[in-house]
Structure 1
Amino acid sequence: MTLKPLILVPFLATPALAGSIDTAPPQVAPTAPAPVVMTPDTDWTGASLGATLGYGWADADGDAEESDEGAVYGVRGYYDHDFGNYVLGGGIEYDATDIDLGDAGDLDGIARVGGRVGYDLGKTMVYGTGGYAHATTDGGSLDAGSSDGYYVGAGVETYVSDNVTLNGEVKYNEFNNFDNDDLEVNATTTTVGMNYRF
């Protein structure tokens, strides 16, 4: 018997160790991240109180041909309801001023009761507004008194903290029912305001 077969016996009896007996962990396929559900940042539902400051231009026609401009400042209170994409609201406001209308006297102030329809952009709302307006005058040779009328306008309001918003508005106001039947007054106001929302 030769030695060659005996030398090979231990190697033939040993299992092959060319590969590891441990298996590689299975590869996990990458998964897409779970969708993030976006919730509205703000809810416009609720009451608000605010103060405004701005500028106005007024023209008197008829028995008084005069135009003037001056500062406008006022207060406002609103209640809004948020329907998701749209906001409906209503409120009252008063703007005081001292615009000189010549023989018609001074335009003392404009009171308004009306509504607004807005589009909810999250922390910002753009809106249109309109309704009933009442103007009062003081002095002047025409003794113009006061007049019912209407207003239309547009604005934007945005949150700057949890309960505080800033807004800007432009309004057109028209009055033709003064004690002097021939007097007509139209006024345009631009204002900025700060509001506390409850």
Structure 2
Amino acid sequence: MKRFVAAALAATVLATPAFAQDDANFTGPRVEAIVGYDVVGIPGVSDPDGVAYGVGLGYDFAAGGMILGLEAEIADSSTKIGDLVSDRDIYVGARVGTVIGQSLLYAKAGYTNARFEQDGFGGANGDGFRLGAGLEYALGNNMFLKGEYRYSNYEGDISRNQVVAGFGFRF
């Protein structure tokens, strides 16, 4: 699975120049779908991994030569070990970036809340924070591809490392 996700991300990054157009736009409302590799760190348990997938929305604007944005995302994951399942993940945060040609290089930070469930014992929500960085590549004026790394840390010393790819539209 790890090799498949890495190969898909590499193919996406290498194929995108063929779609490029001259007018990149990184401002305004956006909606996107994401998929990628998810590893959950649980104290005392080997780190389970799986596939993360979800949808996000945001709004970006130009300010002083930079791009600033607000964003929200709801995601899920196939990550599980035994009867312990990593369930939905909600994120709300901000990002700041700079335009480099047809690309937006950005960093992000915000609040995240994940649900972890165990068969027969119900589930628990964990509040935390997320930090990340990524590269968004404009496919013309209103479509984009992105690659992103994100680290989340939740209550109970539970953590999450993800590498995701996304495809989205700006309006």
**TM-score relative to the length of structure 1:** 0.70
Q: Contact 2:24/2:140 (CA < 8 Å) preserved in 1?
A: no
Match of 1:172 among 151, 155, 162: 151
Q: Deviations over 1:88-126 (max 9, x none)?
A: 0011012210211446x2001211000000011242100
Q: Give the helix-richer structure, 1 or 2.
A: 2
Q: What letter matches 1:191 in structure 2?
A: V
Match of 2:17 in 1: none
Match of 2:89 in 1: 110
Q: Contact 2:105/2:134 (CA < 8 Å) preserved in 1?
A: yes
What is the identity percentage for the equivalent residue pairs of Structure 1 and Structure 2? Answer: 29
Q: Deviations over 1:150-184 (max 9, x none)?
A: 100000001112210001100001111xxxxxx43
Q: Contact 2:25/2:138 (CA < 8 Å) preserved in 1?
A: no
Match of 1:95 among 67, 75, 78: 75
Match of 1:136 among 94, 115, 129: 115
Q: Contact 1:46/1:80 (CA < 8 Å) preserved in 2?
A: yes
Matching of residues 9-24 of structure 1 within 5 Å? none
By how many angstroms is 1:44 displaced? 1.9
> How many aligned positions are there?
150
Q: Give the strand-richer structure, 1 or 2.
A: 2
Gaps of 5+ in 1: 1-39, 177-182
Alignment RMSD (CA, Å): 1.9
Question: 3-state SS of the aligned residue for 2:42?
Answer: strand
Matching of residues 55-94 of structure 1 within 5 Å? 55-61=37-43, 65-83=45-63, 85-94=65-74
In 2: Cα distance, 1:195 partner to 1:79 partner? 12
Distance 1:54 1:93, change over 3 A: same
Gaps of 5+ in 2: 1-21
The question of 1:194 aligning with 2:170 is answered no
Higher RCO, 1 or 2 (CA under 8 Å, sep at least 6)? 2
**TM-score relative to the length of structure 2:** 0.80
Match of 1:53 in 2: 35
Q: What letter matches 1:79 in structure 2?
A: Y
Match of 1:149 among 121, 124, 128: 128
In 1: Cα distance, 2:167 partner to 2:60 partner? 16
